[in-house]
Amino acid sequence: MTLRTDNSSLKTDNSRADSNAERYRLLLSQLIALVDTRRCEELNIDDVMLHARSGAIAILLGELFQHTEGFNVFTQDDWKSFNEEIAQMANAADPQKITVTNKGIALLMTWAVEGVRRQA
């Protein structure tokens, strides 16, 4: 009897994790660029939480990125993944773990970093 080891599923899982991590790195980069424009200074943390918890963070991000390159760098699948994954983070977040309490943009950046960390 010959035991065959197939690493193809492992490679697929690794490449998917790398792709997801890259998506969150790109999101963080776009959020930093948005901060530089000063168009997000009034972004309310309550609005961010509302969109995130309801699985609609893509709507908020789309509004923020509509006049930047950030709007076009993500695919429909990326937006769908952001909705699902950030909703999980927002709804499962232990209030003691989240240190951001004032700026909505800072909370978005925290979730982007968490998205990268989860894929590592």
Q: Phi and psi (nearest 5°) for 41?
A: -65, -30
Residue 12 CA to residue 10 CA, distance in Å, equals: 5
- Which whole number is the average pLDDT over 113-120? 86
| Band of residue 8 on the pLDDT scale cut at 50, 70, 90 | very low
Q: What is the pLDDT of residues 49-100, one digit of tens each?
A: 999 999 999 999 988 888 777 668 889 999 999 999 999 999 885 655 677 8
| Band of residue 10 on the pLDDT scale cut at 50, 70, 90 | very low
Q: What would the two tokens of residue 66 be?
A: 């509509």
Structural domains in the chain, CATH included, are 17-119 (1.20.120)
Instruction: For residue 86, give the nearest of 118, 59, 111 by alpha carbon.
Output: 111
Mean pLDDT of the chain: 82
Check residue 60 and report its DSSP letter: H
| Band of residue 102 on the pLDDT scale cut at 50, 70, 90 | confident
> pTM to 2 decimals?
0.78
Of 7 and 74, more confident: 74
